[in-house]
Chain A
Amino acid sequence: MVMQEERTMEPQTTPGPATRGIVVQKLNAWYGPLQALRDVSLTILPNRVTSVIGPSGCGKSTFIRCLNRMHEVVPGARVQGKVLLDGEDIYAPGVDPVRVRRRVGMVFQRPNPFPTMSVFDNVAAGLRLNGLRRPGQMSDAVERALQQAALWDEVKDKLKQSGSALSGGQQQRLCIARALAVQPEVLLMDEPCSALDPVATSRIEDLVRALKERYTIVIVTHNMQQAARVSDMTAFLLMGDDRAGELIEYGQTRQMFTNPRDERTEAYITGRFG
């Protein structure tokens, strides 16, 4: 695969408005009085896996939740700045967050299947929101999503069971299938493997590599090896003096892990800190 050789560290070289991908400009986020992100600017490339790393509490979750307007769901939370999705600012006045979330799917840090729904209905939940009613289409779409999430073989005989009757790793893949079923353009994954054993983790990593053919993926991870294994680009966040998260370095994963520009990145990656 040909890597783009542009200096992605300079997000100011903003591509034209029609460019695909996500351009984040001067993003600030608050929880009430607490600033959680300050002046984050970067460009997320389409059909690439971008990992977000950094110590606990530096704002990784906050950052990706700003990319599909989930941040504002928290009472008292506030966002400032621009996030251009395929050139269109999702924070522009008049943009419906519901439409943004249909284009930018999300997998949460902890598996959160709907316990009152069957496995099938969990995957179908998003499709039903979109008004898909035809039973045949529905079961095709559900099967496709479960196949993509590498879960189909394990659950094809228990589609009617409750979604919470699966193991933790299966639940996480169920949540991935649920997010994939609505065919978003971007998939945000918040530490999708934090609760999983090594086997399930490697399955999800395979999945992420496979999915980037069709999706733009942003993945938060605490695991340096995982970031190195699955991602093309890496963003490193760190808390500033007032605990607001700042973007320290952003670039190609390979380069960042072999030859980081910033000494704080190097310290973090080599485990000397954080």
Chain B
Amino acid sequence: MARAPHPQEVHAPVWWWRARFRRPASPGDWVFQTIALLAALSLVGLLVAMTLYLLNAAWPAVTRFGLGFLTSSTWDPVQEVFGALPAVYGTLLTSAIAMLVAIPVSLGVAIFLAELAPPWLRAPASFLVEMLAAIPSVVLGLWGLFVMVPVIRDPVERWLGSSLGFLPLFQGPPFGVGFLAGGLILAIMALPIITAVARDTLAAVPSSQREAMLALGATRWEAISRAVLPYARSGIVAAGILGLGRALGETMAVTMVIGNGYQVTARLFAPGNTMASKIATEFNEASGDLYIGSLVELALVLFAITLMVNVVGRLLVRWTVAKARVGGQ
């Protein structure tokens, strides 16, 4: 009797396709599977089409400036000379400030929520943190402009300038709006996701790990810092990367508090721009293929960076979850 080929002897995608489509269990299944597949394919198609469209729109700028687009600091619509460096720099700097502030705070909150808070407080406190993510960006931006920026200008920047003014970071006039304000707004926006992911990773650490350390004579804090945090470390890194992905692409709130400058400077109090805020401020008035093309190229650069960060973040999360399942007895 002829032996049917073992499924795995068939080339994998073919096998996949046949397993699903060659002999459908019922016509209904077949229709449903086809619709689902088409929906999934159309998403991919949309992504590809969007990228192609952006590339096409950016093409005048790409051909005109080449790689120099990324290294030039001039942005002159009148002379039609465009360089992205200050915007790229602004995005990276504000995101770095945001991570520097948000990661320790989120980690502290996550440890509190997962390990220390009394059970009755956990759900409401987690809810509050997650509510922070529900505040519309523009509302947060308004709050930032009218409440946070004045506070940053007066006690914060004045104090930093007078006590740490020997560092280039804290030199220059305290504008209030600027890289620092932008970074802090981004920190607030990245906080909920970092906290939520970190809390979930910490909560997924098996209690046997905590107990193992406690039984050796560890204090509560030692058990957290030596058993729980190391066990959860890759999940915590992933949480940070997801937060970074959020910070990099954020537009509205940051546009409102970053001060619309265009410079590469170490001075955190100086007004600047991010890629997203530059696009948001100027797309309305842009005219001419080169100007529009430059803004679109900026968008492509931002897209590439956030895509990379998100892919790495998601891979890390998946890897962590898989590891937690295997190791989590």
Q: Is A70 in contact with chain B by the CB < 8 A criterion?
A: yes
How many A-B contacts if CB must be within 8 Å?
67
Q: Is A102 in contact with chain B by the CB < 8 A criterion?
A: yes
Smallest CB separation, B213 vs chain A (Å) = 7
Q: A99-B217, A101-B215 are in contact. List 19 more A-B contacts (CB 8 A).
A: A68-B215, A70-B214, A73-B210, A73-B214, A98-B219, A105-B216, A108-B211, A108-B215, A112-B209, A112-B211, A114-B231, A125-B216, A126-B217, A129-B213, A129-B216, A129-B217, A130-B217, A182-B216, A182-B217
Would A101 and B211 count as touching, CB distance under 8 A? no
Chain-A contact segment, one of B67-75, B184-192, B222-230: B222-230
Of the A-B pairs whose beta carbons lie under 8 Å apart in the complex, a sample of 6, sorted by A's number, is A112-B208, A112-B209, A112-B211, A115-B327, A125-B213, A178-B216
Q: Is A49 in contact with chain B by the CB < 8 A criterion?
A: no
Q: How far is the CA of A113 from the CA of B215 in the complex (A)?
A: 12
Instruction: Report A's interface with B, CB cutoff 8 A.
Output: 68, 70, 73, 75, 98-99, 101-102, 105-106, 108, 110, 112-117, 125-126, 128-130, 164, 175, 178-179, 182
Q: How far is the CA of A99 from the CA of B214 in the complex (A)?
A: 11
Contact A110 to B215, CB < 8 A, known contacts A117-B230, A129-B222: no
Would A129 and B211 count as touching, CB distance under 8 A? no
Q: Which size bracket describes the interface of B in this complex? A: 20 to 34
Q: Is B54 in contact with chain A by the CB < 8 A criterion?
A: no
Smallest CB separation, A46 vs chain B (Å) = 20
A114 contact from B214, B219, B222, B230, Cβ within 8 A: B230
Would A116 and B215 count as touching, CB distance under 8 A? no
Instruction: Report B's interface with A, CB cutoff 8 A.
Output: 119, 206, 208-219, 222, 226-227, 230-231, 233, 327, 329
| Majority SS at the chain B contact face | helix
A110 contact from B208, B214, B218, B219, Cβ within 8 A: B208
Would B231 and A115 count as touching, CB distance under 8 A? yes
Smallest CB separation, A123 vs chain B (Å) = 11
Smallest CB separation, B46 vs chain A (Å) = 41
Q: How far is the CA of A93 from the CA of B78 in the complex (A)?
A: 79
Contact A126 to B216, CB < 8 A, known contacts A110-B208, A114-B209, A164-B327: yes
B329 contact from A70, A73, A105, A110, Cβ within 8 A: A110
Q: Closest residue of chain A to B208, judged by CB?
A: A112
Smallest CB separation, B307 vs chain A (Å) = 30
Would B211 and A70 count as touching, CB distance under 8 A? yes
Smallest CB separation, A145 vs chain B (Å) = 12
Q: For A110, list chain B residues within 8 Å (CB).
A: 208, 329
Q: For A98, list chain B residues within 8 Å (CB).
A: 217-219
Q: How far is the CA of A101 from the CA of B209 in the complex (A)?
A: 15
Q: Closest residue of chain B to A128, judged by CB?
A: B226
Q: For B216, list chain A residues within 8 Å (CB).
A: 101-102, 105, 125-126, 129, 178-179, 182
Smallest CB separation, A190 vs chain B (Å) = 10
Q: Which of B215, B222, B226 has the most CB of A within 10 A?
A: B215
